[in-house]
Every structure is written in C-alpha cells, then in structure tokens.
Structure 1
Amino acid sequence: MAITAKDKADEDRLGTALCRLTDEEPSIKITRDEQTNELCISGVGELHLTIALEKLKRKFGVTACLQEPSIAYMETIKKNAKAEGKYKKQSGGHGQYGDVWLEISPLDRSSGIIFTESIFGGAVPRQYIPAVEKGVKETLAKGLIAGYPMTDIKVNLYDGSYHTVDSSEQAFKAAASLALKKAVPEANPIILEPYYLVDIVTPNYFMGTVINGLTAHRGRIMSTTSPSLSISKIQAQVPEAELTKYAIELRSQTQGRGSYALKFSHYEEIPAKIRDTLLTK
C-alpha cells in the first residue's frame, strides 16, 4: 500500500519513524516507487499493515494513512502527425518569437523518447535546437492525454522560423510545447498499462479456482505445469492494476497454501472502458 503522513507536521518525521519500524520488524518492507514517486509499505496482510500503522502512532508519534498505490500508466501514439507551434509575444519593447514544425511518429515498446532534427538552411538557428528538445521532453513528461508521461515517440524538428531580435531559447521551448499539443491529438493517442509476469504455486485441488480468478482479473494464462502429484505451477500475465490485493485473494482461494512471485513484463494498450474511466478522473 502507499503510505503518507496524515498532516504536514508528520511528513518530516515519517521517514525516520519507518526506518525505526523496519529495524524492529524486518517483515515490513519500505520502498520508493521510482515512476510514481510514492512511498510504499509491504507486509504479510492487511492486518499486519494496520498494526504497523498503530505502532507508528503509539510508539513513534507519527500518524499515517494507507491507500492503494498508483499505477504507473504511460501514454503514447499509434500514428504519425505533424504540427506547427508558433510562440509570438509583442509587448511594445523586446518581444518573444519562436516557430517550429514537428513531426511525431510511434516507436516500438520500451524505446523511450527520441528527438531528432533535419533542419536545412538555418530555418531554426543551431543555438535554439537544444531549447526545442528541452521543450519536447518536458512537455511529454507531463503527458498530453490524462497526465501520464508519454513514451515510445520519435519527435523530429524539420522546419521553423526565427526573428533576429525577438527569438530566444524560452520562446522556442514554448513553441515546441505548442506544436506537441496540436500534434498528439491527431496521432491517435492511447494509454498504456504495465503487465506483470506472475508465477503461482498451488495445490492441484485449487488450480481451477486460481485460473478462474486470474481470468477474472484480465490475466492471460501462459503455461501450467505439475512438478508433482499434489502441486501445480501457473504462469500468467496480469495487469498491475489487478494485482494490488492479489495476495489476499490467493490466500483465500487456496486456504493459505498458495504462493506467488511476480516481475515486470511489458506495457500494453489499456481497454477502452478503463481508458474512459482514467480520462474522466
């Protein structure tokens, strides 16, 4: 679960209190999610975490709250698009002027963001191209559909114009942002969700129940094996959003005799129904 201090006064003391808590209880794990930047706490069940929260308050004087951790959704595009971004500001004195044409195109999964330029004839002076790249990466990092970072996109700066007096790095950075805000909606934008590879060990008797449960959570069964007469192994790909409380569910399905391990697998496009839910948040 994600853990946060209940009020501002406890924020500074939460980290120290959690360190002391894990020293006393090694079965409690504290991690920082690099993508969502959330502080997460892990235990052997809901009761374990509830007791940990009570101990934080009673022994260390820190009141904390738990909530389901955020999912590290990403955004990307499915087709090419071109757009112009022109930032022009005149206020009587020294103005601001930047004008760029960007082409965006989709890349293979896990490619990240690639920026290129094919400027000819000095349409955009060389000293302003790093500002365009910075504007591109900062804008994509904030997301343009539902506020999630964009990925797997190639952005090419291929044309533009400048003013000998009014052009500046800031103006070209702003122009790049404007161009992306026009281009992305025309490039069939989508939201991606993370999938995990889940390896489950369960007594044979509960195998059907476990498989039905995984299917209900949008899981895809990759393989099933029986290492012994009494034990089955199931491997499945499951969206991270469906795994938050899977430990509790598996324990219930197998009378406490099932276990699982998971690791990140890949990102893939989210179903339309869930996408619509995210867009209305």
Structure 2
Amino acid sequence: MAGKLMNAVQYTAYGGGPDGLQNGGGLADFAVTKESLTVARPPEVSAADVVGLPIAGLTAHQAVTQSAGINLDGSGKEANILVTAASGGVGHYAVQLAKRGNAHVTATCGARNIELVKSLGADEVLDYKTTDGAALNSPSGRKYDAVIHCANGIPWSTFEPNLSPNGKVIDITPGPTSLVTFALKKLTFSKKQLVPLVLIPKGENLQCLVNLVKEGKLKTVIDSKYPLDKAAEAWAKSIDGHATGKIIVEP
C-alpha cells in the first residue's frame, strides 16, 4: 500500500483521541484498509501535505459539501457560513473549502491565528475570547445559513439567534447534549436544526481533496512534526486543544 493515502488509518498523521478510529484515527508504521478507501499520492506532493486529509480533510469536506450543501465549483446560491475553531485541524480545511464554493465565511479562532485564518480565505474573523466572538456575532450583521462547528462548549442558545430562518449547526464532535438538541429540534419541527456529523469516508471525496492540494487550491497548515517514538508528546499537544492546523507524526 506504499504511496497510498488511507481513509481508515493514517500512518503518519496524528488522528485523534485515545479510543482509536471511532474518535479520529490511529498511529502505525503500516496499516491495512480497503483499496476502495485509498488514493495514490502524487509524487510531486509531499506526504506531510496530504496526510491530514483522510480524517480532518474528509470531515471538513463532508460538512461543507453534504451537510451545508456548498458546491466546490462555486455554483449555487451564495451562503453565509460560520466556521468555529477555524485554525484547528478540521476548521482550517473547512474555511478553504467553503471559500471554493459560493460562500461568505465568518470564522472564529484565537487572536494569535487571526491573520492565518484570513490568509486561508475567511471574509471575517472573530477572536473567540472577545464579547462579539463569544456571541458569534458577524461583524457585518449576517445570519448564518450553516455553522461548521469545530469547537466545544458552545450552547445552542448562542447559535440560535445568529442563524438564518433555515440555518443549521453541523456539529463535527457531537456529544450527549448535541444529540438531545438534535432530537428536540426534529420533534418540534424546528426550521433551525442541529446536525450531528458522522464521518462516512469515500475514496472519491479523498481524491477530490488530493487533486485540490496538487493544484495548489488547498493546503495543510502544519503545527508541528514529531517522530513516531515521540507520539505521546504529539498526543498530549493535540489533547491540549491549541494546535494550529495539523500535528504530524513521521515514521
């Protein structure tokens, strides 16, 4: 499987929490997966530039294209999109993908990453520690048609007044509270919805992302690199929750 990118297991990228694939990935020198879930890495593209795609990139792709309904070719009605934690592993991909569609992107991140997120294409960037940032208020007064929610600890009551009449919050890490809100909104036929995202890896979606990287239309922001024998340090840094982009573990 040399030279392939793997959906199911990432062999050089830190993939997620301690519970394994169900919560985001794993670490290994070699891995086995279905060939239909793999994509050849172009020789002119480095492994570090694409190894974050099988989990974080695909999550962003599914949230933006399927859940938010954004066409990456720029066709379709303009949408107002909010990306929370926009400098993180999924968020920084989501900003770039949403801008490839016909979307106005508002993003939240820490103050130190504001210029980075702007460079990825965000139209408006909020420091989440400020009053307006915590309230998710668009500087231009826009209501969001979709929120790609990559952060934690933001209640539905903060999202709801900022949503358009048919707006939705796409939660990429849904917990019990999110699932309860999802059920209540469905039962009450609310036009504003919370949508828990369950990643369904597809080879064709991974190929789309690889093509964008090859064409210089999508980039991976690398926070740091660690050798495999220091994976515990990479793990600890990721769990700390303040990495900018992806943490890469190299064999």
TM-score, L = length of structure 1: 0.18
Bigger strand fraction: 1
- Greater relative contact order (Cα < 8 A, sep 6+): 2
TM-score, reference length from structure 2: 0.19
Whose radius of gyration is greater, 1 or 2?
A: 1
